[in-house]
Structure formats: structure tokens, C-alpha cells
A and B are shown apart, each in its own frame.
Chain A
Amino acid sequence: MGDKQKTKILILDDEPIVLKRLKPALEKSGYDVEAFSRSLEASNRIMEQDFDIVITDLKMEGLDGMEFLSQVKERSPVTEVIVITGFATMDTAKESFKKGVFDFLAKPFKLGEIKDVVAKAEQKIKNSE
């Protein structure tokens, strides 16, 4: 598989451990993954490059996850966003879905769960192409 066909994923989470474990796991599944722990850097990156899938935490220092989510969707409406958060409430879930997120996972989650969600998002992107 050449790099061109690989699905591009950006992960944003302010706890490095999440990136440290998620990035290699998704790479092993054949994705092209970039990981950021600072929202500002992630925010700059999405201005340079469109990603197929963005995985983001909601509650972070600096830029709020909800805001980042809006930025992503504004810049590239076809990007599928998966929200991961340790503060899952009905309200945040509702708001996320209103903003068009693909799925919403409460932390902690199983590695298998997020892989399934990513695979489904990938499928959706392929189907719409």
C-alpha cells in the first residue's frame, strides 16, 4: 500500500499517553497518523492539510475541543470527526452531534472500540466518494 491511498488521521489530545498508545495502534492498522497534544499546533496543521478523520478530546487547555471541531468542519466539511472525552455528558454529546461529529466515545475506551469507529468512518468516506 502506497502512502497516497492511506487514510489520513489527526489526533488531538492534551494527555500524551493517549497519543502514545493510539498512534502506533492506528498505524499498525494501516493509517497515516499525526498526533498533537497542543490544540494550537493541531489548529495550524489543519489549515495546511486536510485530514480524512480527526480524533479530538473535548476538554483541553487553550483551545476548546468544541471550537476545534467547528474549525475542522468549516475548513473541510467532508472530514469525519470522532470526539473522545473523559467528561461525557448528554449535553456535550448532543452539542457534538449537532456540529456533525461522526461518533462520540467516552474515555476510557477499548482500543478495539476506537478502531471499529475509525473503520466505520473510513467506510462512510469511501462510500461517499
Chain B
Amino acid sequence: MSTFTDMIKAAFKGRKKSASKVPFSVLFSVFQKILQYNNQVLELMAEMGTKLGGAYIFDQQYIRSTCHHIADLVYKLIYNLNTLAPKKYLKLYDALGAINSDIEEELAGRPVIPQTEYTMPYRLITDDFTEVVGAKNANLAEIKNLLGLKAPEGFAITTQAFKAFMEYNRLLEKMDALNAAWQKGDASKKQAAEEIRRLILEGTVPQPLQKEIYRSLDNLYQGVNPEEVLLALRSSATSEDTEHTFAGQYLSLLNEPRENILQAYKSILASLYSDSVMEYRRQKELMDYQDSMAVACQLIVDAKVSGVLYTLDPRAPDRDVMLINATWGLGAPVVSGKVRADLYTMDREEPYPLKSLDIVRKPEKLVPQKGGGTDIRTVHQELQTKTCLTDEQMKQIAEAGLKIERYFKKPQDIEWAIDHEDNLVILQARSLNIKDQVANLVCDISSVLDDFSIIFRDKGSIAQEGISTGKVFLVKTEEDLDRFPSDAVLVTAYTSPRLGKVIKKASAIITDVGSPTGHMATIAREFRVPTIVNTGVATQLLHPDQVITVDARENVVYEGAVKALCYYEFVDEIFETTYEYRLLQRVLKKIAPLNLLDPSEKNFTPSGCKTFHDITRYVHEKAVEELIGLEYDRTSDTARAGRKLKFDIPLDLILIDIGGGIRDSANISYIKPQEVISVPMKAFLDGLSVPGGWDREPMSVDFGSFMSSLTRTFSSSMATPKYIGQNLAVLSKEYVNINLRLGYHFNMIAAHITGNLNDNYAYFRFLGGVTDISRRSRRAKMLAEILTKSDFRVDIRGDLVIARIKKLDLEMMEKKMKILGLLVAFTRQLDVKMNHEQEIDRLKNVFQDLKNDYIK
């Protein structure tokens, strides 16, 4: 992307002039631009996130142009910051360049793999890496990382490793020649396939790849005895477990000793070119090179019982049952269908009652052999005709299966095992192909739907699409959250970050108010929970325990369980498996996550910026800091320079108006509270001056010693000594940034409040000091509890408290600012009084009373 580099070059050219003694108004306009770009970036980022919800049709062009748009804005942010503080932040251009080149790689269709390109531990794998690790690895990692089920420890050897192996051994050219010979009839299919496999098996695994594999093995074996636990190596081809079912065509090796790994790896690669697979590809008109082999390398699970679960009967889906096959020992014989196994037929609804049980005699079992390989043993006479699963285990398998089905939106074929500690372990999950049968079931969906009554439709916005059935559970209080049952439909008036902990248990979510770009919606998308927000009517029209079907596609809520509708979803193309979805997800990782939370932490540097959001946050923070410390020409426009707030509480606060924040008629040297017309500042001051909020007792530690601790702690972030100890607020009509050092506390509050709720946010950061650590953490805990109760999203790190809230309407935002004002006033007395843990509750109640009395 040459234009981009040109832009950077141009930036360096144009910035030679000295910026000393620039009029304040000029610098303010630069600062205002920064705020404006900052908001634009945040908006674009949030919009990109909502596109993952499925309600929108978007294309690659959208992803490309939005990435470029954001990159351009971030560039402008950096440029303007360097205008405010000439050449001080040039390193940000490097951070921008690095992030941008990763994004360009992604857009060009080359996924950027974290750490190294040849292996990926399961904990780092997300489903957007399916092309890199194959579907089997990706599904398993999602099940482990996101759904919280137990799965084997392991890592993936990537398709990049495959590519490196093929290139190093010049196999692609040799294969082309062999294929050509086969096409021409010079060689038989069998000969060609055999030759390709021989070339792979005799090939050399290139050194860098070997090194990576051994390094990952070392990590995998940390704390594990390699004599006792051997490896399972499984194919994870890019075509496997997708719409083309190559199931069972590729090689999997059980119980391999670690020294065999390279040979085992090559054997699995070779299975990509077996006669049958090559023939299958030919029939499906897939090219050989379109298929690529990643490998799963896992610690083997020594299973007491193993088997397969079908979450729906593939031959008769309309029976609406689950099928479990189970046998003693390892599951390979069941999977391959070589032996008969017990068959449990179960209902798909809680508590999953058993409909029928077919027990067979199981005379033998497969077990891992010491030193490698597997062996067949005779099952103890008594156990041969006994069922392998307890009722509890059956239920556990069923629950896990439906959880996986709900997430992947398709009925599942799941390999599972029960280990010797009685843990259920998921070994593999893939979609069951039931397309043909289900099509009959739901051929005329519109007539099926006529039988169900609609509770409401087209109310609110879809935040995550999908269809789900469940019982309504109304969440009003904190206690409701603790009682939230699995698979219920979460119905609530407001979205709040507090809901985060139950979202993954919910089968669907409906709210009265809320935004599809909000934090809760982001989590719902992560767990793919069908979600409709801002309906306005949900809590009125829905009542507890009512069974409903949420169609977060057509935006309809039905009375009762519309099973046909849920089946209907099974046959649809899954949006989450499209290339565009994954691409968007991958580029968003370089854009949206925020790693720089706290300016006093070590990573708060240009090189610590790993995403566009980080750079945006950094620039915002530094712009405020620079503005405070600016050496501007004070003589030219004094009216707009800092003026003191004349207040009835002893708060030494300087206000700097950057546009429309203070009445024009105000005095040149001081400002009365009623002259403040900045929406967020006015609300904040209202809260601050609530009677009884401000404790007038003298401070027990003198200000001087407090300041000395401050300068030690904040010397890097507060660059200009003359403003240390100065409370300062930068405000405009809709924006405020308040920096306070009250007593022991260092407090920053930033807010933007307009008529458009998507623009609205408030940010609160509190850092203590001076006093002993137990008091500090007590205080942090109390602040966090109060803020959480007021629906803020709160992060605590030691005694640092960061709270954020966004996208509420103007009135609600004002209320939140009042609460922050009251909280700031209130915290002044905290250190003095919080000598005991019990004080927390007492003070919380005092605060609650003040809040109830004064903030309606």
C-alpha cells in the first residue's frame, strides 16, 4: 500500500517548523481534531464489531475500505499529537506501520499467525484460524477455550508447516508430474498415489519446523511424564469436517511415543494422498492443492469408557432424539464401526430421559500399551454385559453435546471419553450432515409457523443472529444472576456488563433497552448467543418460565417451542464459517482489543500499542496531558485559557473551555458553577456538590507529603511540574476531561455526552497512594462494587480502578456523571475512615442513601 507509506513520509516533511508559542486557539483546534478522530475510530470499530452479529450483508470490499479508513484516522491522530507536542511521539508511526502491515497481510489472504507459523498451542487457537489449523483443531480449541469443556491438551502443526514441508522437498512439482502421468494414462491411479505417499514418507522435515515441533512438545510435556502419557496424532485437514465429509479418510495415530513424532507426522501428511481420498477429490472436483493438512498433536486420554454422541439421529432427525454409543476402553473401534457398542437413545430436552437402551456384550476393549501402540484386552466377565455409563454421565454427555450443537449451530457428531478420574473429555466434534432429511421436515416453514402465536416482532435490533428455544428467566438483581439456569432465555430491562457472566449459559437474550454495539452485544457475539436488544417491551410481555422461541434472524419471538424453526437453521449456511466472517474477525483482532488500560503501567508506550484501539487510547491520553502542560502563548487569548472555578467546596479546579463548555458571559478570571454549560461537567458538578457528599474533616496526611509521593509515582506521566497538584478540567459543550488530585487520590474522568447514544461514554480512573496497601485495596473494592452496581464495566488492578460505561441516552449518562461526581466527593473521606473491612458495607450504604436522595 504505497499511499500509506507516502502519507507517513509526507508527515515527516511537513513538520519542520518550530511550534513554539503557537496561539492557544490553534492548539485547541488540534486537540479538538484529536477528540473528533478518536470518536470516529471508536465508532467505526464498534460498527465493524456489529457486522459479526449476522444481521448485515457485508463484503470484502467493506472490510478493506473500513480498515483503510480506520488506518487513515489513526494516522491523523498521530500526526496531530505530534503537532501538539512537536516530534515527541514519532515512534507511534512505527506501531501504526506494524499493525497496518499485519492487516494488509490478512486482507491479501495470508493469515498472520501469532508466535510462530508452524505450531499453535490450543489456548491460542480461535475459529478464525480454521484455515491454518484445520477444522478439527479449531473446533476442539473453541470447545476448550470458549465453551469451557474438557478436551485433551495439545497443539496444532499448521498448514504453513505442511506447505514448508512440501516446498522443502519439492513435492508440488513432483506431484504435478505424477498427476499428469495419471491423467494421460501413463500411470495407474494406484501407482501415482503410492509414489506421492512414498515421496512424503521419505521426505525431510525441514530444520526450523523440527525445532518448532520439539519446542511445542516440550511445552506440552511440562509436568507430564513422557513414559506414562504418550501422544495422539490426528489429521486436521482443511477440507475435513466441512461440507465435504472426508471423515475417516485420513490417518489418526494413537499412543505414539514422542520420539516417533516426525515419522508419525509424515504418515498423516501422506494420508492426504491415499487412493480413496484422491478419487473422492476427483469426484467432487476439488483440486489437490486446495486441500492442506494440519495435524493435531495431543496428550492421549487413557479412557475408561469411550464413545460417540449424535445430538440428532442422522437417519431420522424428526425423532428428535440423541444417540450415544459407548464401550469400555479407547473409542477407536466404536468410531470405525468395527465393534458393536451399547446404544442409548435419549430425549433432547432436559433432563434428557432415556427412551431406550440397547446393551450388547462387550468382550474386548482397546487400551494404550506401555511404550506405544494399542492392545486388545479381555473385559472382565462381569462388566461385559453391564452398561458403561452412569445416569449422571449420560446427562453430562447430553448437556455437553447440546452446548456444542448450539454454538456451532448444527447437530453434532462428537467423540468423547471418560478418563480414569471420571472426567468427561471431548476428543472431537464435527457437524452431522442431515441436510436431506431435514429439508423434508421443514419444507413449508410458513405453514408451520402459522400454528404458533407471535408474542412480538420487529421490535429492537438484532445483535447476534440465530434461532433458539428456552424458558424465560427475568434478571433484575445480582441474586438473579447467580440463580440463572443453563439454557434459559435471558430477559432483562437494561444491558449491563454484569450480565457477562451468564451470557454463555443463555440460549438467547432479549432486552428492553441496549445497543447492538454495546459491550454485552460483543460478548453475545463471542458466544454466538442469539440476541435482540432494545425491544422496549420484553420485560412486559414475557413472563418467567414461559417457553418461547427467539428467532433473531427474522426478529420474531414466538410463544412455545417452534422446533421446525430450529431445524431450519440446521440446513442453512452458517455465516460464521464464511471466509468473510473469519477475515473480519481476524482484522478486528488487530483493531479492537484494548491492551493499554493504565497510563502508569510499563506497557503504556508507543511500542506497547498492539492494536489501533491502543494507539487511539494512547494518543487521547497524551493529548490531554500535553494540553495541560502546554507552553502556549497566554497573552493572545486569555479568555479561553484556564480559569478558576468558584465553588462552595474547597476544590481548587481550573477549567479550560475548548468550545461551548462555559457561558460566554462568564467572568474572565473565575467561573461560577451555574456558568458551566458543558453537559457532562454540569452533571459532574451537581453530583460533587450533593450535601453530605463532601466531608469537611481535615486530611490526616499533609498535602506536601502526599504530593511528594505523587511526583514520585507520576513523574513520567505528568510531565510539567508546575501543574502537579493542580486540578484541571478540559471541557466543551459535550465533552469533559477532568484530572483531580484529591487528598490521596489521583482521579481521571473523561466523558462525552450528546443526544446520540452511540457517541456517549464515561470513563473513570482512580489510583490511590500514600496509605497502606490493605486500606487501598479496601477502597478499590468498595469503588468497584459501587460502580458495578451503577452498571459500569469495572477493571481492578491492585488499587487501580477503571470503570467505563457507554451508549446510554443523554439523561442516563447525566445520571452516571452525577454518580461519579458524588463518588469523587465521597472518596475523599474513605482512607481516613476505612480502617476495617466492615466499614465497606457501612460506607456503601451511606453512599447508596445519598444517591437515592439526590440522584433520581
Q: List A residues at the B interface (Cβ < 8 Å).
A: 13, 15, 17-18, 20-22, 24, 28, 30, 86, 107-112, 114
Is B446 in the interface zone, CB < 8 Å from A?
A: yes
Taking A17-B59, A112-B458 as known contacts, 15 extra A-B pairs with beta carbons closer than 8 A to each other, sorted by chain A number, are A15-B60, A17-B58, A17-B60, A18-B57, A18-B59, A21-B573, A21-B578, A30-B446, A86-B61, A86-B62, A107-B58, A108-B57, A109-B57, A111-B57, A112-B55
Docked complex: B528-580 residues within 8 A CB-CB of A = 553, 555, 572-573, 575, 578-580
Is B575 within 8 A of A21, CB to CB? yes
Q: List B residues at the A interface (Cβ < 8 Å).
A: 51, 55-62, 65, 445-446, 458, 553, 555, 572-573, 575, 578-580
CA distance A32 to B579 in the complex (A): 26
Q: Which chain B residue has the least Cβ–Cβ distance from A20?
A: B573
CA distance A98 to B572 in the complex (A): 38
CA distance A117 to B662 in the complex (A): 46
Give the residues in chain B near A109, CB-CB below 8 Å: 56-57
Is A108 within 8 A of B555, CB to CB? no
Sampled A-B contacts (18; CB under 8 Å): A13-B59, A17-B578, A17-B579, A17-B580, A18-B59, A20-B578, A24-B573, A30-B446, A86-B61, A107-B61, A108-B51, A108-B57, A109-B56, A110-B55, A110-B57, A111-B55, A111-B56, A112-B55
Give the residues in chain B near A21, CB-CB below 8 Å: 57, 573, 575, 578
CA distance A112 to B61 in the complex (A): 21
Give the residues in chain B near A112, CB-CB below 8 Å: 55, 458, 555
Q: Contacts A17-B578, A24-B573, A108-B51 hold; do A114 and B62 have CB atoms under 8 A apart?
A: no
CA distance A112 to B458 in the complex (A): 9
Give the residues in chain B near A17, CB-CB below 8 Å: 58-60, 578-580
Q: Which chain B residue has the least Cβ–Cβ distance from A22?
A: B57
Give the residues in chain A near B62, CB-CB below 8 Å: 86, 107-108
Is B59 within 8 A of A107, CB to CB? yes
CA distance A24 to B62 in the complex (A): 21
Q: Which chain A residue has the least Cβ–Cβ distance from B446?
A: A30
B536 CB to nearest chain A CB (Å) = 17
CA distance A34 to B469 in the complex (A): 33
Is B56 within 8 A of A108, CB to CB? yes
Q: Contacts A17-B578, A17-B579, A108-B51 hold; do A24 and B57 have CB atoms under 8 A apart?
A: no
Give the residues in chain A near B58, CB-CB below 8 Å: 17, 107-108
CA distance A22 to B580 in the complex (A): 14
Give the residues in chain A near B573, CB-CB below 8 Å: 20-21, 24
CA distance A112 to B55 in the complex (A): 8
B684 CB to nearest chain A CB (Å) = 37
Give the residues in chain A near B55, CB-CB below 8 Å: 110-112
Give the residues in chain B near A114, CB-CB below 8 Å: 57
Which 5 interchain pairs have the tightest Cβ spacing?
A108-B58, A15-B59, A108-B56, A86-B61, A17-B580
B562 CB to nearest chain A CB (Å) = 14
Q: Which of A15, A24, A111 contacts B61 (CB 8 A)?
A: A15
A129 CB to nearest chain B CB (Å) = 23
A93 CB to nearest chain B CB (Å) = 18
Give the residues in chain B near A18, CB-CB below 8 Å: 57, 59
B732 CB to nearest chain A CB (Å) = 30
CA distance A4 to B582 in the complex (A): 39
CA distance A104 to B579 in the complex (A): 26
CA distance A108 to B50 in the complex (A): 11
CA distance A89 to B287 in the complex (A): 41
Q: Which of B458, B572, B578 contacts A24 (CB 8 A)?
A: B572
Is A86 within 8 A of B59, CB to CB? yes
Give the residues in chain B near A107, CB-CB below 8 Å: 57-59, 61-62
Is B579 within 8 A of A110, CB to CB? no
B81 CB to nearest chain A CB (Å) = 31
CA distance A109 to B47 in the complex (A): 12
A80 CB to nearest chain B CB (Å) = 19
Give the residues in chain B near A22, CB-CB below 8 Å: 57
CA distance A110 to B59 in the complex (A): 12
Q: Which chain A residue has the least Cβ–Cβ distance from B579?
A: A17
Give the residues in chain B near A28, CB-CB below 8 Å: 445
CA distance A110 to B58 in the complex (A): 9
CA distance A13 to B55 in the complex (A): 19
CA distance A104 to B537 in the complex (A): 32
A2 CB to nearest chain B CB (Å) = 13
CA distance A15 to B64 in the complex (A): 13
A84 CB to nearest chain B CB (Å) = 8
CA distance A49 to B572 in the complex (A): 28
Q: Which chain A residue has the least Cβ–Cβ distance from B63?
A: A108
Give the residues in chain B near A110, CB-CB below 8 Å: 55-57
Q: Which chain B residue has the least Cβ–Cβ distance from A84?
A: B57
Q: Which chain B residue has the least Cβ–Cβ distance from A59?
A: B61
CA distance A110 to B61 in the complex (A): 16
CA distance A111 to B554 in the complex (A): 9
B217 CB to nearest chain A CB (Å) = 39
CA distance A86 to B56 in the complex (A): 13
Give the residues in chain A near B57, CB-CB below 8 Å: 18, 21-22, 107-111, 114
CA distance A83 to B572 in the complex (A): 26
A92 CB to nearest chain B CB (Å) = 15
A94 CB to nearest chain B CB (Å) = 21
CA distance A107 to B579 in the complex (A): 18
A109 CB to nearest chain B CB (Å) = 6
Q: Which chain A residue has the least Cβ–Cβ distance from B445?
A: A28
B518 CB to nearest chain A CB (Å) = 17
Q: Which chain B residue has the least Cβ–Cβ distance from A21?
A: B57
CA distance A24 to B569 in the complex (A): 11
Interface centre among B58, B60, B555, B573 (most CB of A within 10 A): B58
Give the residues in chain A near B553, CB-CB below 8 Å: 111
CA distance A20 to B580 in the complex (A): 11
CA distance A28 to B556 in the complex (A): 15
Give the residues in chain A near B575, CB-CB below 8 Å: 21
A36 CB to nearest chain B CB (Å) = 15
Give the residues in chain A near B446, CB-CB below 8 Å: 30
CA distance A20 to B553 in the complex (A): 16
CA distance A109 to B60 in the complex (A): 14
Interface centre among B59, B553, B572 (most CB of A within 10 A): B59
CA distance A20 to B51 in the complex (A): 16
CA distance A20 to B574 in the complex (A): 10
CA distance A79 to B83 in the complex (A): 56
Give the residues in chain A near B445, CB-CB below 8 Å: 28
